[in-house]
Amino acid sequence: MSQVIQSLRRTVIPAPMAGGPTTVDLVRAAHQAGSFGTLGLGSASVDSARSQIDACAGIPFGVNLFCPQDPLTPEQLAAAAELAAAEGATLPDPDYSFGFHDKLELALQGGARVVWSMFGTFDSEQLARIHAAGAEAWTTVTTPDEARAAAKLGVDALCVQGPAAGGHRGTWDRTALPDDRPLAELIAAVHEAVHAVAPNIPLIAAGGLRTASDVTQVLSLPGVAAASCGSAFLLSKEAGTSDYNRKLLQRGGATVSTRAFSGRHARGLENDYTRAHPGIPPVYPMLNSVLKERRAQHDAAVAYCLVGEPAAKIRGGSVADILDSLCQNKH
């Protein structure tokens, strides 16, 4: 059993949200309220990661990292170039490692209690280093096969992310269509898949949890030890959600899971671009650069407001207030 999860006074963990929403203040507020906060460092620069980790000194905290991905194929690069040409943009020379190795070293040196992987899991050497540093290794999974692979490796917890989750779906294979089974069905399949190799591994349920009733229901499922909520904290006063996105969230609207936000499957508020490009190929991380200038000008047609379903149930307040609303009972 995860010692971090066992130590929680709350059954809800704010999900690590890359790109700004998860701040040091949010992580610290989660700790003060009896939960556990994790920095979303997947898309951060190494310098930014270092400063955020340093700012968490003195409290238990986690770090979420994007696993390195293979470079785009020539066909995928050609598709990205076509999208860029349509916008009058040029393609960058991306770092397909996302600074993973440097950030992992910073996390371990900085005393992170959890290193949490996204878009994949750790190799055996990385897992050994994490454990040698006294930290735990957690991995986001979206299919029973991913869960089985991570459990066999020896990670300490699995975050099972369902289709209603906001932000990027943590699929390991960027070309694969995400598993669209409802969260409860996905958790049952994952629990069955890992039982033979790691019968006591705790599951963290994630995706579309907005109310205390939602949380209570997933905590009753086999193997589930905690719930992870991201979108529920987007309007918290400690979140780094931009003023523009706060207005979009308060206005609300339909969400869609599509590659048309970033080139990887992600769920957010639909816009003209997502409606016009339903079949974008897997060109992550190129699409963010292609649309960067328009998004900087707050062009609503390409708005990048990632949020889970249902978006209408998101409320403001402090992190502590939101945890109170989600947790009927403390541990």
pLDDT digits 0-9 by tens, 298-323: 999 999 999 999 888 899 999 999 99
Q: What does the pLDDT look like over 26-38, one tens digit per residue?
A: 999 999 999 999 9
Contacting residues for 77 by C-beta, under 8 A, at least 6 apart: 91, 283, 286
Q: How far is 277 from 80, CA to CA, in rounded Å?
A: 13
Cis peptide, bond prior to residue 310, ω within 30 of zero: yes
Task: Say if residues 326 and 318 touch (Cβ distance below 8 Å).
Answer: no
Say which CATH class 3-326 falls into.
alpha beta
Q: What are the domain boundaries of the chain? A: 3-326
Q: What does the pLDDT look like over 114-124, one tens digit per residue?
A: 999 999 999 99
Nearest to 160, CA basis, from 175, 128, 138, 177: 138
Contacting residues for 215 by C-beta, under 8 A, at least 6 apart: 11, 12, 209, 227, 229, 326, 327, 328
- Per-residue pLDDT of the chain (331 residues), as tens digits, is 799 999 999 999 999 999 999 999 999 999 999 999 999 999 999 999 999 999 999 999 999 999 999 999 999 999 999 999 999 999 999 999 999 999 999 999 999 999 999 999 999 999 999 999 999 999 999 999 999 999 999 999 999 999 999 999 999 999 999 999 999 999 999 999 999 999 999 999 999 999 999 999 999 999 999 999 999 999 999 999 999 999 999 999 999 999 999 999 999 999 999 999 999 999 999 999 999 999 999 999 999 999 999 888 899 999 999 999 999 755 4
Nearest to 14, CA basis, from 178, 218, 228, 209: 228
Instruction: Please report the pLDDT score of residue 330 as a whole number.
Output: 53
Q: How far is 207 from 147, CA to CA, in rounded Å?
A: 16
Residue found under tokens 């409606």: 275
What phi-psi label fits residue 2: left (phi over 0), alpha (psi between -120 and 50 degrees) or beta? Answer: beta
Contacting residues for 167 by C-beta, under 8 A, at least 6 apart: 15, 17, 18, 230, 231, 266, 267, 268, 306, 307, 308
- Is the full-model pTM beyond 0.95? yes
Contacting residues for 75 by C-beta, under 8 A, at least 6 apart: 281
**What is the Rg, in whole angstroms, of the alpha carbon atoms belonging to the chain?**
19
Task: Say if residues 316 and 236 touch (Cβ distance below 8 Å).
Answer: yes
